[in-house]
Amino acid sequence: MSQKGFVNIAFVVLAVVLVGVGGYFLMDRFLAPSPPQQSPQTTNQVTQPILQLIVNKIFGDKSFPKGKITVLGGSGAGMLIAECADKNYITNSAHYIIEGKVENTESRWIDDSTLGRHIFTFTTIAAKKYVKGDPIGDTVELKTIGGRVGDKWEIATDVGSPEKGKDVILYLQKVGSEFELVCGYFGIVYPSPIPKIKSNFHILKEQNVKDLLKGSGIKSLSKKFYEGNTDDYDFLVIVSGSLVGDYIGEWPPHFGSIKNYTSGIGKHFFDSTIDYGSKGRLQGYAFINNLDDALGPNRFHGINAFVHELSHYWIMNLGNDELKIRRDGGHWSNFVDTSVQINGKIYLNPNGGGIWQENSDGTFSALHAYDIYTEESYRRRFSSLDLYLMGFIPASETRPVQLIIPEGQVDTDQNIRGTKRLVTVQDLIRLGGQRDPAYPNTQRDFNIALILVIENEPTESQLATMDWIAKNLPEVWFEATSHKSKLIIK
């Protein structure tokens, strides 16, 4: 090798050594902590910005501007907007979509210049990610009217206060200088992890799901289901993978009874099981239209539709002109206080009714409540009279509910004049007779077939949603029945 070649190699080696040594000292200078005797001011002022730029370039800037965003909870207005059931509407209406974690909740009395003196609940949420909108703060404070301070509580909002430690997604819109949740409680969502394993639900393929309920509809579908399954189910829960009909209201969620041999609940005896392909066990079906929109933005609220429809097998078929405790469609009258109190919290009834308070002037007002402080607040509880009709408790364990009898026709549920009357289990027996079979000789655990009806292959999102329903419906039912009944999804 020539002398020139040796020189070139020497330069290359020297360059590598210099780069290595220089890199070592740079790393030591920028990354190693400064010794105590050195003044940190000149070193840190240079190294920290450089290091931050390096980290941001490599990993992206994850920091948010320091600051607190105060968000006003809804007052029920969102419930009046039909579009609020549409996830796309909420997403498009939101100026900011923020993923965060609840750090703290606190309720206290506040003298509000507009609303007066009330209990307000303040929920502190640490922002983790801005899905939509430029970051404007690292903390969100959700302010909702209602809450509990000591033995005093107020319920006056439709939002609820998320539980500490829970992940949430907030859909916010800016109105003037203030921030609000889009559509009230629809604007706060509790994300669920996407499952990797399919649960025990069934998939049936139909050529034209839109016309599924025309003609023999459910009967044909049920017979098709039993062609490949044993007669081992008490109820079918049928969920369409796409819209049936031209709009949801054409075929809303509903329940159909197939067999009944229980007296005292307002139904006659009949047996149509053979028309549905069952050999005698099937008691009824629940239909839920369009899986993609069935649960709405908040699954914990949406799953109540499943509980509600299944409960129609027993509730509510009793009532007459003298005792108006029933309204159209087999629901408790809105003037019956069917709420349930547990540990100071108030739960709505899955099958209608309301929550009523008597005002100081002798009038009555309904409380519009969807919040019991956690996402579990969206789950509901049957009253003891419901549980009696369902056969889950004896008549001796029931408690009366309160009926408000308005004076004349009313077109509001606030400050109405009327009288109150207690409705007892004896009233139900007088209307429908003794329940037979009576507790404890009643069925309290039920096998459920959860069926997704689709035209093509299900999407990953549909599988995940059905999996979530299959895993959560039994728990929600168990809680709604005060641990008296179980659903077995199989």
Integer Cα distance of 184 and 243 in angstroms: 26
- Digit-coded pLDDT (tens) for 155-208: 544 445 667 788 889 999 998 888 988 877 677 887 755 444 456 899 999 888
Q: Domains of the chain: which residue ranges?
A: 3-50, 68-189, 202-315+441-489, 333-380+394-432
Q: What single string gives the DSSP state of each residue in 259-297? A: EE--BSSS---EE-GGGGT-SS---EEEEE--HHHHS-S
Q: State how far the alpha carbon of 172 is from the alpha carbons of 91, 195, 261, 356, in Å.
A: 9, 28, 51, 31
Summarize the confidence of residues 420-444 as an average pLDDT: 97
70 backbone dihedrals φ, ψ, rounded to 5°:
-95, 125
Q: State how far the alpha carbon of 121 is from the alpha carbons of 113, 143, 149, 298, 418, in Å.
A: 17, 6, 9, 20, 32
Helices (H), 82-144: 87-93
CATH architecture for residues 68-189: Beta Barrel (2.40)
Q: 329: which 2 tokens?
A: 């469609």
Give the lowest-confidence range in 24-38, 257-271, 327-341.
24-38
Reported confidence tier of residue 154, pLDDT bands at 50, 70, 90 = low
Give percent above pLDDT 90 in the chain.
47
Most confident of 50-54, 131-135, 265-269, 409-413: 265-269
Comparing 307 with 292, the larger pLDDT belongs to 307
- Please, are residues 202 and 449 in contact by the beta-carbon 8 Å criterion? yes
Summarize the confidence of residues 345-374 as an average pLDDT: 78
Is pLDDT at 251 greater than 60 in this prediction?
yes
Q: Which amino acid is at 177?
A: S
Instruction: Round the average pLDDT of the chain to a whole number and report it.
Output: 81
Return the SS3 of 303. Answer: coil
Name the residue with tokens 């200088």: 177
* Of 372, 388, 368, residue with least CA distance to 380: 372
> Which H helix or E strand runs over 32?
none
What per-residue confidence (pLDDT) applies to 62?
A: 52
What per-residue confidence (pLDDT) applies to 86?
A: 73
> How much is the pTM?
0.65
Integer Cα distance of 401 and 102 in angstroms: 36
Integer Cα distance of 157 and 154 in angstroms: 9
- Digit-coded pLDDT (tens) for 462-482: 998 999 999 999 999 999 999
- Please, are residues 160 and 143 in contact by the beta-carbon 8 Å criterion? no
- Digit-coded pLDDT (tens) for 73-117: 754 444 444 567 677 888 888 999 999 999 998 888 888 777 778
Dihedral sign, Cα of residue 145, residue 148, residue 149, residue 154? positive
